[in-house]
Amino acid sequence: MHDSLTTGLGLFVAVLAVAMATSVFTDPARLAGDELAILAGVLAGVALGELLRLHDRLEALGAWLQARLSGRGPFRDRDATRATAGGSRIAEAFVAASLVFCVGPLTILGSLDNGLRGDATLLSVKSLLDGVASIAFAAALGPGVYLSALTVLVVQGGIAAGAFLVRDALDARTIVAITSAGGVILLGTSLLLLDLKAVRVANFLPALVFAPLFLAVGDLMRGVS
């Protein structure tokens, strides 16, 4: 059941990713070369992401936070751990679920899309993915998983609110550039869900900055020429 649901979600995410990635071609304000700016942004973004090892650092951060916050550090007294097993179990469930639900590219993409364009589609898809995962987490770790809803509210709500505050400073083409680059990244997520390729999606996140940057450079060059 879990595999089939994940496959169905993966297929839908792939369709959604293609629609987002190709939005630059259907944008009525599109100028010649905009698609090349997106390509350059994606390539420059993933190059920087690989150099900075964003994927590895994100995974390491998640492991470190889980060990620290759930009280499973290497020097923790074992008798004390057994004496507080109930509390530690809740903390472990809360931390593990919070990390899975919040530390990921779809969290950033969905929240940005919601804040910039008012579109909650990606967050809705993410909620379905999280819902399937939460069943397994709750069965294995207990009710502490429910507390992760607070983390999701703070993290995703904070990113969406920040994007909403700056969206008036961005023109329509810039938002389309971010959306199109986000679609390419989302396609990598769909390949992961479909178990087709282990894409290090987090390494592509800098493309969300580079795509509009190259778009602006292109506009500047047109103005100079």
Alpha-carbon gap, residue 161 to 174, rounded angstroms: 18
Most trustworthy range by pLDDT among 138-147, 204-213, 215-224:
204-213
Q: Residues near 224 by Cβ (< 8 Å), separated by ≥ 6?
A: none
Q: Say whether pLDDT at 79 is over 70.
A: no
Query: What average pLDDT does this structure show over 179-197?
Result: 90
- pLDDT, mean over the chain: 83
Ranges of each domain in the chain:
2-224
Q: pLDDT digit string (tens) for 26-52?
A: 888 888 889 999 999 999 999 999 999
Mean local confidence (pLDDT), 166-184: 90
Q: What is the pLDDT of residues 110-146, one digit of tens each?
A: 899 999 989 888 898 888 888 888 887 787 777 778 8
In sequence order, what are the residues at sequence separation of 6 or more whose Cβ sits closer than 8 angstroms to the Cβ of residue 135?
Answer: none
pLDDT band at 66 (very low <50, low <70, confident <90, very high): low
Residue 74 has pLDDT above 50, yes or no: no
- Global pTM reads 0.76
Residue 25 CA to residue 32 CA, distance in Å, equals 10
pLDDT band for position 89 (50/70/90)? low
Q: Are 135 and 5 in contact (CB under 8 A)?
A: no
Distance (Å, rounded) from C-alpha 78 to C-alpha 136?
27
The residue count of the chain comes to 225
78 pLDDT exceeds 60? no
Confidence of residue 106 (pLDDT cuts 50, 70, 90): confident
User: Half-sphere exposure (CA, 13 Å, Cβ side) for 115?
Assistant: 23
